[in-house]
Amino acid sequence: MSYQTEYDRSMQDPEGFWRKQAEALAWFKFPQQILTSDAAGLGYWFSDGEMNTAYMALDHHVNNGRGDQLALIFDSPVTQTKSTHTYSELTDVVARTAGMLAGLGVVKGDRVIIYMPMIPEAVIAMLAVARLGAIHSVVFGGFAPPELALRIDDATPKVILSASCGIEIKRTVEYKPLLDRAIDLATHKPQSCVIYQRTQCTATMIAGRDHDWTSQLAKASPVGCTPVKGCDPLYILYTSGTTGKPKGVVRENGGHAVALKYSMKAIYNVEAGDVFWASSDVGWVVGHSYIVYGPLLQGCTTVVYEGKPIMTPDAGAFWRVCSEYGVKALFSAPTAFRAVKKEDPQALLIKQYDLSKLDTIFSAGERLDTPTEAWLSEMSGKPVIDHWWQTETGWAITANLQGIESLPVKPGSSTKPVPGFNVQILDEHGEQQPAGRQGYIALKLPLPPACLNRVWGDDDKFRESYLTFLPGYYTSGDGGYVDQDGYVFVMGRVDDVINVAGHRLSTGEIEEVIATHPDVAECAVIARDDELKGQTPMGLVVLKSAATIDEANLHRQLVSLIRDNIGPITCYKDTVVLARLPKTRSGKTLRKTLCNIVNGREYTVPSTIDDTGVIPEIIAVLRSKKIVA
């Protein structure tokens, strides 16, 4: 089958196309309503189907003879631990963990927050919540208490699941004090917390609220799968927007299961029994889709890795895991590959491992730069496939579909639209742009299965963030172009979102934290290009007239403010004190101009600002600090 035939079918007859894909799953009641659209053109998929995602991902495989196959391999170089679960074992522990949660009062539709490191219990927790028809919201362990508190208040969970600690390269991160602080900060209080005590550190428990995971589980009985509708939410995953408050992307059970199952073969070319490894974290969408749900829905073996691409213990870590478990498809972020390249430029470590089972390396999370792509494909000898997606879509919007037709790779492009996605390049008036011309990347409604059609508890925010700017389209927030062969080139965000090591952050949120410093009058946060992490945030700060603090001291204090309020993953690296910021007549700071100046790119300045002399003044400061030449 050619890519074009497959894609055209998805456009010409979306209902027929997705009905056929839905048939590959074990529904309790097959949906009659495949697609229903509302007045705005939004699509709702498989709304009246009855199902349970955990059943499709676990019990179904056990019932069909896959019980003894490995479902999950846990590999933790930071704790020197390895363990496995077969499909039978995973189903059993998920059913008992669901029993534990039911014993704490969790029922269908309740929210459960999961704030955990990369251990099997994090995956078990997600599936257990899904088994009850409840809604999980996983919060990445690198987020600080105020971020967790925001999510607690928005999702109002009945129960929070956590662990005593996570293990980073240089330190043990105690999660429990962070969780306690977040609950103190939040207005909503969960009824219970269940804490998995790891041997590396023991959490102090609060009587009456906190429960020990292991002893609770020992007392719990297994429970069955609660049927849900296709349109019932499976999870809420918060992601950074342009404002300080993250958006809770709602993922519905039906469309999610259908799209992910389809993607496993179509995009990644893996079948049941294959080993699939996404070296991400369950706190991100990649972890949800391709550590947990996608591989298990397909009957694959998934790898849960608690380590880094380098330093645990070396830059051969990825190749060791691929070789040891016979990984067929590896999925990671460009930052991880850049880190490996920096440590092992000659790829001496790759050559130590047998990678004969590894077919393809997939990259997403940020733009795959051409030197990294060229290095990786040459050194590994494997096809390197870039694909573009977002938390909002839950799976790839553009890709090179390895299970349909492998198209020639064009460096810098994530290839072509995935079936179901009608990708258009538009200007601000909604006019379609010709081949080669950059514009806003927009997706014509309705979106295919799995994509969001609401933001938790905030319908207005959803419409305003994604649908209002270009009516009839979902605005992706990314800019780019399509070439004459239909290849899509994603060039970067057109809003105030930045991407640090594949982690999505809001500059507005960082600015809000910097503005709380008593000496700061105002600030602008921009993305500075970073060789390893793609981008890191830089704070351009104007001090209050009475302030006497020096820049180095200010920087140290801002680093700790940002770490305490957002989290260490922000990687806040630079503070520059300026006398003033360039502003338009209406008072808008010219962030884009500043960003271009800092990164040595061409920039334009409106004449009204040109006259004020502020830009040469800023350039002089940046030159004195050797930030620009």
Give the Cα separation of 74 and 234 in Å (integer): 24
Give the Cα separation of 122 and 281 in Å (integer): 10
- Contact partner, 280, from ligand COA, ligand AMP, none, Cβ < 5-8 Å per class: ligand COA
The footprint of ligand COA on residues 396-455 (CB under 6 A) is none
Q: How many residues bind ligand COA (CB under 6 A)?
A: 25
Binding mask 336-365 for ligand COA (x = CB under 6 A): x--x-------------------------x
The footprint of ligand AMP on residues 205-244 (CB under 6 A) is 239
At residue 507, the 3 state secondary structure works out as helix
Name the residue among 191, 175, 141, 240 with its Cα closest to residue 537.
240
The footprint of ligand AMP on residues 422-481 (CB under 6 A) is 477-478
Give the Cα separation of 520 and 157 in Å (integer): 36
Task: Kindly state the smallest distance separating residue 285's Cβ from ligand COA, in Å.
Answer: 7
Choice between 183 and 501, CB closer to ligand AMP: 501
- Contact partner, 519, from ligand COA, ligand AMP, none, Cβ < 5-8 Å per class: none
* Amino acid at the residue 503: H
Task: Kindly state the smallest distance separating residue 240's Cβ from ligand AMP, in Å.
Answer: 8
Choice between 193 and 569, CB closer to ligand AMP: 569
247-252 vs 192-196, strand pairing mode = unpaired
Q: Copy the structure tokens of residue 52.
A: 């349970």
- Contact partner, 477, from ligand AMP, ligand COA, none, Cβ < 5-8 Å per class: ligand AMP
Task: Kindly state the smallest distance separating residue 477's Cβ from ligand AMP, in Å.
Answer: 5
- Contact partner, 566, from ligand AMP, ligand COA, none, Cβ < 5-8 Å per class: none
Residue for token digits 């990649």? 286
Give the Cα separation of 393 and 256 in Å (integer): 9
Name the residue among 150, 106, 142 with its Cα closest to residue 125.
106
Burial class (CB in 10 A: 0-12, 13-18, 19+), 113: buried
Q: Which stretch binds ligand AMP (CB under 6 A): 28-36, 384-392, 566-574, 616-624?
A: 384-392
Residue from the set 333, 347, 498, 614 that interacts with ligand COA by CB under 6 A: 333
Name the residue among 295, 287, 274 with its Cα closest to residue 122.
287
The footprint of ligand COA on residues 362-401 (CB under 6 A) is 365
Q: Is residue 364 part of the contact set for ligand AMP (CB under 6 A)?
A: yes
List, in sequence order, every residue forming a beta bridge with 229; answer none if it has no partner: 50
The footprint of ligand COA on residues 540-579 (CB under 6 A) is 568-569, 571
Residue for token digits 């499976």? 234
Q: Which stretch binds ligand COA (CB under 6 A): 278-286, 293-301, 318-326, 396-404?
A: 278-286
Residue for token digits 């055209």? 8
Give the Cα separation of 205 and 567 in Å (integer): 23
Residue from the set 1, 169, 374, 491 that interacts with ligand COA by CB under 6 A: 169
Whether the CB-CB separation of 385 and 403 falls below 8 Å is answered with: no
Name the residue among 11, 166, 150, 7 with its Cα closest to residue 76.
166
Whether the CB-CB separation of 144 and 118 falls below 8 Å is answered with: no
- Contact partner, 141, from ligand AMP, ligand COA, none, Cβ < 5-8 Å per class: ligand COA
Residue from the set 366, 496, 509, 511 that interacts with ligand AMP by CB under 6 A: 366
Task: Kindly state the smallest distance separating residue 290's Cβ from ligand COA, in Å.
Answer: 9
Q: Is residue 391 part of the contact set for ligand AMP (CB under 6 A)?
A: yes
Whether the CB-CB separation of 164 and 202 falls below 8 Å is answered with: yes
Task: Kindly state the smallest distance separating residue 154's Cβ from ligand AMP, in Å.
Answer: 17
Q: Is residue 10 part of the contact set for ligand AMP (CB under 6 A)?
A: no
Give the Cα separation of 441 and 489 in Å (integer): 10
> Kind and range of the H or E element at 151?
helix 145-155
The footprint of ligand AMP on residues 253-292 (CB under 6 A) is 285
> Which residue's Cβ lies closest to ligand COA?
502
Q: Is residue 252 part of the contact set for ligand AMP (CB under 6 A)?
A: no
Taking phi first (over 0 means left), then psi (-120 to 50 degrees means alpha), and beta for anything else, what does residue 518 get?
A: alpha
Give the Cα separation of 321 and 93 in Å (integer): 25
The footprint of ligand COA on residues 498-537 (CB under 6 A) is 501-502, 532
At residue 600, the 3 state secondary structure works out as coil
Give the Cα separation of 176 and 179 in Å (integer): 5
Whether the CB-CB separation of 514 and 523 falls below 8 Å is answered with: yes
Q: Is residue 110 part of the contact set for ligand AMP (CB under 6 A)?
A: no
Residue from the set 27, 290, 388, 474 that interacts with ligand AMP by CB under 6 A: 388
Q: Is residue 251 part of the contact set for ligand AMP (CB under 6 A)?
A: no
Give the Cα separation of 605 and 611 in Å (integer): 10
Task: Kindly state the smallest distance separating residue 142's Cβ from ligand COA, in Å.
Answer: 3
Q: Is residue 414 part of the contact set for ligand AMP (CB under 6 A)?
A: yes
Positions touching ligand COA (CB under 6 A) are 141-142, 166, 168-169, 173, 280-281, 284, 286, 308-310, 332-333, 335-336, 339, 365, 501-502, 532, 568-569, 571
Positions touching ligand AMP (CB under 6 A) are 239, 285, 364-368, 386-391, 414, 477-478, 490, 493, 499, 504
